[in-house]
Structure 1
Amino acid sequence: MTTNWTLTIDCADPALVARFWCTALGYIEADPPQGWDTWEDWLIDLNVPKEDWNGGASISDPNGVLPNISFLKVPEPRTAKNRLHLDLQVAGGRAVPQHLREQRIRTTAATLIAAGATLFQEVPMDNSTTLDHLWLKDPEGNDFCVV
């Protein structure tokens, strides 16, 4: 039997990071809990102080297939390299001609850089100068790769 799960990313500004990942993954803001029309209604009904309304965010796959991702506001900054990261698999795999793979990787990375990511490193295939993937960081410095 499987366990229901979501991925949670700790961050300083959940709304900012959630918007970035909506762009990166094609996700949308998650619907509010059943019984509420909006997240604001939910927060008001639970008596959450307005200054805490950006304490979290949640995004979901618009097709309802892939897992939700939650963003949780935490006070401490990121201090080390992520031990878990996302690989955005856009190139199509090694069977795709290298020039097309590289074009797909760079096009996606350019879109994400315009949305707030930063390029950290171009990673070549082993023992070569041929691009394998790009290592980027989201607006708060969380690592991810475009492969």
Structure 2
Amino acid sequence: MANGIDLTLDCTDARLLAAFWKTALGYVDEPPPAPFATREEWFASFDPAEDESVHDCAWLRDPDGIRPRLSLLKVAEPKTAKNRLHIDVRVPGHGDADARWARIRAEAARLVAAGGSVLAEFEGHHVVLADPEGNEFCVAAART
């Protein structure tokens, strides 16, 4: 059996990025692990330092439970270079190349409206964007 993966993004504003990635991926907040009723209760169980807050983190999941979970964790140091690993947002649907490209561009525009920014466009293939904190990702067609 293969191992599963979760993805974690370091950030400066977990709530801002959580809102963006929920919009981008259709993810939802992940509930706290049992037996905890809230994330605050779960977080307090680790006896965090006084300057740490549950609001410095966010945990997201695919509502269908199929795709990797995404954690957003506040860190002190800023992003300083291009990501070595990035997310590809795959736009569903089939059709001819022009129809696929139109869907890719429409999704890129939707994510710009949600706070992202276009970094590069590779005509007919994919668009490179950045989330509100500069983390690079691509929008491309779903693999057939």
So what's the TM-score if we normalise by structure 1? 0.84
Query: 5+ unaligned residues in a row in structure 1: which ranges?
Result: 125-130
Question: Are 2:135 and 1:134 equivalent residues in the alignment?
Answer: no
Partner deviation per Cα, 1:67-100 (whole Å, 9 max, x = no partner): 111111111111111111111111646xx31221
Instruction: Answer yes or no: is the 8 Å Cα contact 1:91–1:102 preserved in 2.
Output: no
RMSD between aligned residues: 1.8
Identity among equivalent pairs (%):
45
Alignment match, 2:39: 39
Distance in 1 (CA, whole Å) between partners of 2:86 and 2:93 is: 19
Partner deviation per Cα, 1:25-80 (whole Å, 9 max, x = no partner): 11001111111122123234544447522221110010111111111111111111
Alignment match, 2:80: 79
Alignment match, 1:26: 26
Distance in 2 (CA, whole Å) between partners of 1:132 and 1:5 is: 27
So what's the TM-score if we normalise by structure 2? 0.86
135-144 vs 8-17, which moves further: 8-17
Alignment match, 2:15: 15
Count of aligned pairs: 139
Query: 5+ unaligned residues in a row in structure 2: which ranges?
Result: none
